[in-house]
A and B are shown apart, each in its own frame.
Chain A
């Protein structure tokens, strides 16, 4: 079955460590996105990619990095430069134009 898979579901990180969140889709979608969801703040865009080997910063890219070496994969690295990384992270893929979006189940990252 086609879908989008995020892993892990829960992740704990020590302060000062980098951590990478995985996002894989087998829907042949061109576009992939990373959002961060905080209580009372909705979804904020971190990075997005429309084609392989290309990506753009979203509204809150500082402290994050991404790569798009394959169409199916769009991993997100939360670096030690991110001051408040504890949040729920959501990966989304879609057709060109943003429609037909599929959502991952999310990764809840907690800094301990």
Chain B
């Protein structure tokens, strides 16, 4: 069984300030990790993913996330947010081995509201 916990349901932040969205997971097997974003009135889209290799992964719009195996975390950060980053962000996990069952499990989401 696996689960994902996003510790903050809402994060208000001022424009150009840094933001961190926390994600912790539990799993009995090795995992792949994902962050998805849902902009207002749009569908979900992949922001970044960790499959293997370097534990720090980056997106094209300035977000980064670091896989910390010992703390079972995959926190998302951006050093300076824009108004356009206002969205809901979902952390997700799946088992990395087919035999273990590859259910894609999402956290509850974190709503980021960027204020001018």
> Which residues of A does B touch, CB under 8 Å?
31, 33, 35, 40-43, 45, 48, 50, 56, 58, 90, 92, 94, 96-99, 101, 103-106
Task: Count residues of B near A (Cβ-Cβ below 8 Å).
Answer: 28
Interface of A is mostly: strand
Chain B residues with Cβ below 8 Å from A104 are 43
Chain B residues with Cβ below 8 Å from A43 are 90, 106, 109
> Which residues of B does A touch, CB under 8 Å?
6, 9, 32, 34, 36, 43-46, 49, 51, 90, 92-98, 101-109
Chain A residues with Cβ below 8 Å from B105 are 45
Q: A56-B101, A96-B98, A98-B93 are in contact. List 5 more A-B contacts (CB 8 A).
A: A31-B102, A33-B103, A45-B106, A90-B43, A101-B34
B103 near A48 (CB under 8 angstroms)? yes
- The number of residue pairs between A and B whose CB atoms lie closer than 8 Å in the complex comes to 68
A105 nearest CB neighbor, chain B only? B43
Chain B residues with Cβ below 8 Å from A105 are 43
Distance in angstroms from B105 CB to nearest chain A CB is 7
6 A-B pairs in the complex with CB atoms less than 8 angstroms apart: A42-B107, A45-B105, A94-B94, A94-B102, A96-B102, A98-B32
Chain B residues with Cβ below 8 Å from A101 are 34, 46, 92, 104
Distance in angstroms from B7 CB to nearest chain A CB is 13
B104 near A50 (CB under 8 angstroms)? no
| Bound form: Cα–Cα A12–B94 in Å | 33
Chain A residues with Cβ below 8 Å from B96 are 97
Chain A residues with Cβ below 8 Å from B98 are 50, 96-97
Distance in angstroms from B53 CB to nearest chain A CB is 13
B44 near A94 (CB under 8 angstroms)? no
Distance in angstroms from A51 CB to nearest chain B CB is 10
